[in-house]
Amino acid sequence: MQLPPTVIAKLFKHALVLSEKKNSEMDTVTDVQSPFHYLGNNLKKITLIVNSSKPFFLEDQHLVFLTKMLDACKLGLNDVAIVNYTTNPVTVSELNDVLQPKIVLLFGLEPTAIKLPFNSPSFKIQEYSNCSYLHIPSLEDLSQNTEEGKVLKSKLWVCLRTLFEV
């Protein structure tokens, strides 16, 4: 799904700036003091940490998946901050300092990867320091059009209904 630059600029007026790079690439702009970049405006203090090898944030198909997931939870991209761990290996203390998350969804990352003092199985909501953490399989696993992908999506939906009361 390709959005025109004007739509993207309106959606992310505080987080993105159009540049004159080839192929309409965009750079994120966050607070100068921020140790990492993120996509979105973080209006509801929800952080999605993905592990994507893409140089920007994520592949189009994964962004579409996340957009549909957020829409089902009555949320939008403005409500969240998406951090790509591959290009921004953040820690929980950096997240707390910059984004002050209330909910953190870890796609394809163990909680210990961001220096949390615990590990938890997938699809188990874990409370820690006034924040809910959910370890989820990778976006690649979730977006499969197989029986396994459907099972993973249904497990995710059960957790999301609990987290976002939908």
Say how far apart CA 154 and CA 160 lie, in whole Å: 10
**pLDDT of 33:** 57
Task: Locate the DSSP E strands across 9-166.
Answer: 16-18, 26-28, 46-50, 80-84, 103-107, 125-128, 131-136
Say how far apart CA 106 and CA 48 lie, in whole Å: 6
Higher pLDDT, 122 or 60: 122
- CA of 31: how far to CAs of 5, 16, 94, 98, 149, in Å? 22, 12, 13, 9, 37
Q: What is the mean pLDDT of the chain?
A: 84
User: Taking the alpha carbons of 66, 68, 74, 78 in that order, is the dihedral positive or negative?
Assistant: positive
Higher pLDDT, 34 or 68: 68
Average of per-residue pLDDT across 52-69: 83
Domain ranges of the chain: 38-164
38-164: CATH architecture: 3-Layer(aba) Sandwich (3.40)
Determine if the pTM surpasses 0.85: no
Is residue 125 within 8 Å of 134, Cβ to Cβ?
A: yes
pLDDT tens, 14-50? 544 433 333 333 334 444 456 788 999 999 999 999 9
pLDDT tens, 74-116? 999 999 999 999 988 999 999 999 999 999 999 999 999 999 9
